[in-house]
């Protein structure tokens, strides 16, 4: 597929959509209309393979604050930018008055080029009571990889602490809940992917992968309605804080992946400090085993390095 065939639909009031040829790849909702309890923030849904299969879920009934792929932080010095209740040690999950929001400010780039599409976005992280936490510059880019066999989404974020104090980024695990270290770039897969295969450099399996430190992790699942499978692989950039990260991974209860830099230990961001993260998400049609996932991860690493694939 020729990268020149990429297009970016900017006609929506709340979202942007990216297409390659006749294949819609993803919609980026930058002005969500979620209720405050769900910590409104931009998200990507639907996310599709080149063959048109949807590989994300939106507001699943078990966790309505899960929105496709989103950059979500559950514990930021007492504020919840994940959605829903907050884990409190000794009490479990408690609904607090702390559901912050990530607000659209503007776009600094909306480009279609020979190598794909790039979206540059500025955002403000605001607490439920109104205080500002972070100013964020975010970039999303898409390109075809593997001679047209897959495509890759690169997610980059630079977050400046504008709160005037040191902020602690953590997870339910840093708050006291064992092996629940979610927080960061979180993918929620379709319900039909439940029970699917989690893929790592060490092999394939299920929920036992949760908490492992790996440079990449993937998920392969089956679709309803079609006799088809799809695979995604998420790759952590080597310069990310805490690389390689621990991963929050789920298959048995629901399909989910999250390279979680704050899984077991808080990351402290000083006033005016900028913290940066970069990830590749490779999306492919077809079933995945450890070997196929390793190849997808290779294409993701090449995309992160800015190399042709």
* For residues 75-92, average pLDDT: 98
Residue 2 confidence (pLDDT)? 43
Rounded Cα gap, residues 245 and 209, in angstroms = 12
Q: What percent of the chain has pLDDT over 90?
A: 95
The pair phi, psi for residue 208, each rounded to 5°, is -65, -15
CA of residue 2 relative to chain centroid, distance: 26
- For residues 46 and 68, the answer to whether their CB atoms sit within 8 Å is yes
The pair phi, psi for residue 8, each rounded to 5°, is -130, 115
Q: What is the 3-state secondary structure (H, E, C) of the chain?
A: CCHHHEEEECCCCCEEEEEECCEEEEEEECCCCCCHHHCCCCEEEEEECCCCCECCCECCCCCCCCECEEEEEEEECCEEECCCCEEECCCEEECCCCECEEEEEEEEEEEEECCEEEEEEEEEEECCCCCEEEEEEEEEEEEEECCCCEEEEEEEEEEEECCCCCEEEECCCCCCCCCCCCCEEEEECCHHHCCCEEEECCEEECHHHCCCECCEEEEEEECCCCCCEEEEEEEECCCCCCCCCEEEEECCCCCEEEEECCCCCCEEECCCCEEEEEEEEEEEECCCCHHHHHHHHHHHHHHHCCCCC
- For residues 76 and 100, the answer to whether their CB atoms sit within 8 Å is yes
* For residues 270-296, average pLDDT: 97
Residue 80 has pLDDT above 50, yes or no: yes
Q: Which of 78-87, 113-122, 294-303 has the lowest mean pLDDT?
A: 113-122
The first and second tokens of residue 86, run together, are 């907050």
pLDDT band at 307 (very low <50, low <70, confident <90, very high): low
pLDDT band at 11 (very low <50, low <70, confident <90, very high): confident
- Supply the pTM of this predicted model: 0.97
Residue 308 has pLDDT above 60, yes or no: no
Residue 182 has pLDDT above 50, yes or no: yes
Taking CA atoms, 165 is separated from 13, 269, 271, in Å, by: 35, 9, 5
Q: What percent of the chain has pLDDT over 70?
A: 98
CATH code reported for the domain at 3-304: 2.70.98
Residue 283 has pLDDT above 70, yes or no: yes
- Express each pLDDT in 207-251 by its tens digit: 999 999 999 999 999 999 989 999 999 999 999 999 999 999 999
Rounded to a whole number of angstroms, the distance between the first and last alpha carbons of the chain is: 13
Rounded Cα gap, residues 98 and 80, in angstroms = 6
* For residues 247-270, average pLDDT: 98
Residue 1 confidence (pLDDT)? 44
The first and second tokens of residue 107, run together, are 């776009």
Residue 12 confidence (pLDDT)? 87
- Express each pLDDT in 113-154 by its tens digit: 877 999 999 999 999 999 999 999 999 999 999 999 999 999
Residue 115 confidence (pLDDT)? 79
Mean pLDDT, all residues of the chain:
96
Rounded Cα gap, residues 146 and 3, in angstroms = 12
Q: Where do the domains of the chain lie?
A: 3-304
pLDDT band at 3 (very low <50, low <70, confident <90, very high): very low
Residues ≥6 apart with Cβ < 8 Å to 289: 197, 199, 204, 220
Rounded Cα gap, residues 173 and 265, in angstroms = 8
Size of the chain in residues: 309
- Express each pLDDT in 32-71 by its tens digit: 999 999 999 999 999 999 999 999 999 999 999 999 999 9
């Amino acid at each position: 597929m020729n990268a020149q065939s990429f297009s970016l639909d900017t006609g929506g009031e709340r979202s942007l959509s990216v297409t390659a040829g006749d294949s819609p790849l993803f919609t980026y909702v930058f002005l969500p209309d979620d209720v405050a309890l769900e910590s409104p923030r931009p998200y990507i849904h639907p996310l599709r393979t080149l063959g048109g299969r949807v590989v994300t879920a939106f507001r699943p009934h078990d966790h309505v604050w899960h929105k496709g792929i989103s950059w979500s932080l559950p514990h930021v010095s007492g504020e919840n930018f994940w959605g829903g209740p907050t884990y409190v040690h000794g009490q479990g999950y408690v609904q607090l008055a702390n559901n912050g929001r990530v607000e659209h400010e503007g776009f600094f780039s909306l480009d279609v080029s020979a190598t794909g599409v790039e979206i540059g976005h500025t955002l403000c992280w605001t607490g439920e009571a109104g205080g500002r936490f972070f100013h964020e510059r975010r970039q999303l880019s898409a390109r075809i990889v593997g001679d047209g066999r897959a495509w890759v989404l690169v997610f980059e974020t630079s977050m400046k602490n504008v709160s005037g104090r040191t902020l602690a980024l953590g997870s339910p695990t840093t708050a006291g809940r064992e092996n629940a270290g979610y927080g960061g770039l979180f993918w929620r897969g379709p319900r039909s992917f439940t029970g699917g295969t989690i893929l790592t450099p060490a092999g394939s399996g299920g929920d036992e992968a949760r908490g492992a430190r790996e440079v990449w992790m993937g998920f392969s699942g089956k679709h309803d309605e079609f006799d088809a499978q799809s695979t995604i692989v998420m790759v952590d950039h080597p310069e990310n804080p805490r690389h390689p990260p621990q991963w929050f991974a789920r298959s048995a209860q629901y399909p989910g992946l999250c390279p979680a830099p704050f899984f077991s230990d808080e990351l402290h961001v000083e006033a005016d400090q900028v913290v940066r993260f970069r990830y590749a998400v490779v999306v492919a049609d077809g079933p995945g085993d450890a070997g196929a996932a390793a190849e997808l991860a290779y294409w993701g690493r090449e995309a992160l390095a800015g190399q042709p694939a």
